[in-house]
Structure 1
């Protein structure tokens, strides 16, 4: 089940981001941006959705920010205890569903250039690379998917 995040989810979101992104710190040389996100503000803005297991235990999240002409998939994370169950793909698909519901024609996202697995995953899910650059000190690769 995927639901809108509630204020009480902030601690899980922080723990999930820490657990999911910690492995990238040595590669990137610093904490990935999602590890320092302002989850309470994102929750208050209605930008965070949480995936739960059948017992109602949170397993992952996605942050989707509507823009004038696209949905920004700002971050997605699955807690390591739930990796390998397809939750990441489910959360990405949820962001696409939210975009369609708001009549937004495209989902855009970015990932760190050193997160090699993501560079292969996003094209597999129908995203095309649209550029590369440095933003906020991070070496980013940008992707977009036009929704049908």
Structure 2
């Protein structure tokens, strides 16, 4: 498996990965935003990485970065690649990128009923920083010397 920065030519395949990754949650009745919309624009406007196995994109992560915040907007792994360390590798790539920029940490929001997803992030050192309705906010400190 290779993790690399996404290109616009990856947009259609990454959109399908995102759709497949969230399908089980939607089938279980969770009301989720339309996270598969705007993937091509995200690749153009934001840092996006993809995990590739052979010629197939099996996962991706979109990051929104500003002067005040670095947010993991979407992390998705195709269900066929679940349990193979794809999500971990994608997060390692963005953590390395963020550390190279000297960023103090990362933030994200997930659904409170996505227990396995929350456990995954906690296992990787993320901690809860708040809740709002069905959203659970998590953060990970990258540079311990920063506030």
TM-score of the superposed pair, with normalisation by structure 1: 0.87
**Counterparts of 1:29 and 1:57, CA distance in 2:** 28
Aligned CA-pair RMSD = 1.6
Separation of aligned partners in 1, 2:75 and 2:123: 16
Match of residue 86 from structure 2: 87
Instruction: Point out where structure 2 has 5 or more consecutive residues left out of the alignment.
Output: none
Counterpart of 1:45 in structure 2 is 45
2:51 counterpart SS class: strand
Tell me the distance in 1 between the aligned counterparts of 2:95 and 2:49.
12
Q: How does 1:17-28 map to 2 (within 5 A)?
A: 17-28=18-29
CA contact (8 A) 1:4 1:46 kept: no
Q: Any idea what the Cα deviations from partners look like across 1:81-132, whole Å, max 9, x if unmatched?
A: 2111100111111121121122111110111111111121211111110000
Please list, as runs of the form range in 1=range in 2, the aligned pairs for 1:72-111 lying within 5 A after superposition: 72-111=71-110
Q: Which residue of 2 aligns with 1:8?
A: 9
SS at match of 1:62: strand
1:63-142 map, 5 Å: 63-134=62-133, 139-142=134-137
Does structure 2 retain, via aligned residues, the 8 Å contact 1:25–1:32? no
Structure 1 contact 129–142 (Cα < 8 Å) conserved: yes
How far did 1:47 drift? 2.2
Do the aligned partners of 2:46 and 2:65 also contact (CA within 8 Å) in 1? no
Counterparts in 2 of 1:57 and 1:63: CA distance versus 1, 3 Å: same
Q: Does the 8 A contact of 1:27 with 1:114 survive in 2?
A: no
- Give the C-alpha shift of residue 46 in structure 1: 3.8
